[in-house]
């Protein structure tokens, strides 16, 4: 039963890249060693319990006699099972552990792309420096090749984790932790903040979207262009975005409103993302309205305030933002 988790979506044992594979192999090895030791101990315990059933042999002074093994034999048992076997097991796992660490230290091939990863309360920001692209909560990567990640924390310590692709790495304010990641085949993999960072920590998710190289290149190119909608029905929402103060925290590049604040996620292409609010809502018009209308109801403790808006204004904002593909 427990082993059915191995193929469950998001399990670290359902690996899709070389880093996760190495870690999973180590995990299975350690599980095997622990299981072997456990069975051996249970066997010896069983033998001891069986022997104890017989009344202990006593000598003429009433003291327990040393058993069949003799003093020397008993000591040898302790040395073998208490010292030698644990040492061999521990040294072997240590060696495998160090070998795995060394294998994970660098990518198997030189990486072409460096992506800056920043953990915020309570969302992940991914920036592609070469293309001047920001992609909150969605890390797009080309499949089958490694990318470098520069991981930082904006406020408190977070931890970057994509179980199917790589283990955890802390995102620390004032420090850059560099690592790499590779997805062997195209697919979507869930990531999660793995360090308690505040109220919405458990919902601080993101998606890693691995695409064939040409699709990835097309995506990156499109992200670097304006999503400014030509449909006039979106104009009221665009104006409201500036008037209602959203622009103090959010940037929509190239839009009618120009640049904006950096406190919240970049919304330049928010309509094209799969989810909203750190992978907690499907990206639909209704969810967009619900989120803007009362973010605190959806994510208590989120740093986005509820801005007082009437129903028409909410709809106009949501229509505008959803048009930004
Ligand atoms: Cu976090």
**Residue 68 has what pLDDT?**
64
**Residue 60 has what pLDDT?**
72
Write out pLDDT tens, residues 41-64: 999 899 888 887 666 667 777 776
**Residue 54 has what pLDDT?**
65
- Tell me how far the alpha carbon of residue 200 lies from the centroid of ligand 1, in angstroms: 8
Structure tokens at 52: 């104890």
Write out pLDDT tens, residues 161-191: 999 999 999 999 999 999 999 999 999 999 9
- List beta partners, residue 181: 147
- Tell me how far the alpha carbon of residue 149 lies from the centroid of ligand 1, in angstroms: 17
- Tell me how far the alpha carbon of residue 299 lies from the centroid of ligand 1, in angstroms: 14
The mean pLDDT of 307-322, rounded to a whole number, is 94
Residues of the chain with pLDDT > 70: what percent? 90
The mean pLDDT of 218-239, rounded to a whole number, is 87
Q: Which residues surround ligand 1, an ion (CB under 5 A)?
A: 158, 193, 197, 204
Structure tokens at 62: 């009433």
Report d(CA 16, CA 10) in Å as an integer: 10
The mean pLDDT of 71-90, rounded to a whole number, is 86
- Tell me how far the alpha carbon of residue 202 lies from the centroid of ligand 1, in angstroms: 8
- Tell me how far the alpha carbon of residue 136 lies from the centroid of ligand 1, in angstroms: 14
Residues 161/177, Cβ–Cβ less than 8 Å? no
**Residue 1 has what pLDDT?**
38
The mean pLDDT of 20-33, rounded to a whole number, is 92
Q: Would the pLDDT of 7 be above 60?
A: no
- Tell me how far the alpha carbon of residue 212 lies from the centroid of ligand 1, in angstroms: 29
- Tell me how far the alpha carbon of residue 129 lies from the centroid of ligand 1, in angstroms: 23
Residues 122/201, Cβ–Cβ less than 8 Å? yes
Write out pLDDT tens, residues 238-284: 999 989 999 999 998 865 555 788 899 999 999 999 999 999 999 99
- Tell me how far the alpha carbon of residue 107 lies from the centroid of ligand 1, in angstroms: 26
The mean pLDDT of 91-115, rounded to a whole number, is 91
**Residue 210 has what pLDDT?**
97
- Tell me how far the alpha carbon of residue 233 lies from the centroid of ligand 1, in angstroms: 37
- Tell me how far the alpha carbon of residue 159 lies from the centroid of ligand 1, in angstroms: 6
pLDDT band at 2 (very low <50, low <70, confident <90, very high): very low
- Tell me how far the alpha carbon of residue 190 lies from the centroid of ligand 1, in angstroms: 15
- Tell me how far the alpha carbon of residue 131 lies from the centroid of ligand 1, in angstroms: 26
Q: Please give the residue that has the higher pLDDT: either 58 or 197.
A: 197
Residue holding tokens 């973010």? 295
- Tell me how far the alpha carbon of residue 120 lies from the centroid of ligand 1, in angstroms: 7
- Tell me how far the alpha carbon of residue 148 lies from the centroid of ligand 1, in angstroms: 20
Q: Is the pTM of this model over 0.75?
A: yes
Q: Would the pLDDT of 113 be above 90?
A: yes
- Tell me how far the alpha carbon of residue 154 lies from the centroid of ligand 1, in angstroms: 10
> What is the pLDDT of the chain when averaged over all its residues?
89
Q: Please give the residue that has the higher pLDDT: either 81 or 188.
A: 188
**Residue 55 has what pLDDT?**
66
**Residue 225 has what pLDDT?**
86
Structure tokens at 40: 């051996």
- Measuring CA to CA, how many Å separate 9 from each of 12, 16, 200, 285? 9, 11, 22, 27
**Residue 302 has what pLDDT?**
95
Report d(CA 203, CA 209) in Å as an integer: 18
Query: Pairing relation of β-strands 275-276 and 205-211?
Result: unpaired
- Tell me how far the alpha carbon of residue 56 lies from the centroid of ligand 1, in angstroms: 60
- Tell me how far the alpha carbon of residue 60 lies from the centroid of ligand 1, in angstroms: 70
- DSSP class of 234: G
């Amino acid at each position: 039963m427990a082993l059915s988790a191995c193929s469950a979506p998001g399990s670290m044992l359902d690996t899709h890249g070389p880093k996760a594979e190495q870690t999973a192999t180590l995990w299975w090895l350690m599980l095997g060693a622990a299981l072997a030791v456990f069975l051996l101990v249970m066997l010896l315990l069983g033998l001891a319990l069986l022997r104890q059933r017989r009344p202990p042999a006593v000598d003429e002074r009433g003291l327990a006699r040393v058993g069949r093994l003799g003093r020397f034999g008993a000591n040898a048992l302790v040395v073998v099972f208490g010292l030698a076997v644990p040492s061999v097991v521990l040294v072997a796992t240590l060696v495998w552990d160090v070998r795995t660490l060394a294998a994970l230290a660098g990518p198997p091939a030189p990486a072409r792309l460096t992506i800056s990863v920043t953990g915020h309360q309570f969302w992940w920001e991914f920036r592609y420096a070469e293309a001047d692209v920001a992609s909150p909560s969605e890390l797009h990567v080309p499949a089958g090749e490694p990318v470098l990640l520069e991981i930082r924390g904006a406020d408190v310590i977070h931890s970057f984790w994509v179980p199917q692709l790589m283990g955890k790495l802390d995102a620390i304010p004032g420090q850059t932790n560099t690592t790499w990641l590779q997805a062997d085949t195209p697919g979507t993999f869930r990531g999660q903040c793995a360090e308690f960072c505040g109220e919405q920590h458990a919902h601080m998710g993101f998606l890693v979207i691995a695409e064939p190289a040409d699709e990835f290149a097309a995506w990156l190119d499109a992200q670097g262009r304006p999503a400014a909608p030509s449909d006039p029905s979106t104009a009221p929402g665009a104006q409201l975005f500036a008037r209602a103060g959203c622009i103090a925290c959010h940037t929509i590049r190239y839009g009618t409103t120009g640049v904006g604040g950096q406190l919240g996620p970049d919304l330049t292409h928010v309509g094209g993302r799969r989810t909203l609010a750190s992978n907690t809502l499907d990206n639909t018009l209704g969810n967009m309205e619900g989120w803007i209308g009362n973010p605190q109801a959806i994510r208590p403790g989120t740093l986005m305030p509820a801005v007082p808006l009437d129903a028409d204004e909410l709809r106009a904002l949501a229509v505008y933002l959803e048009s930004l593909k």
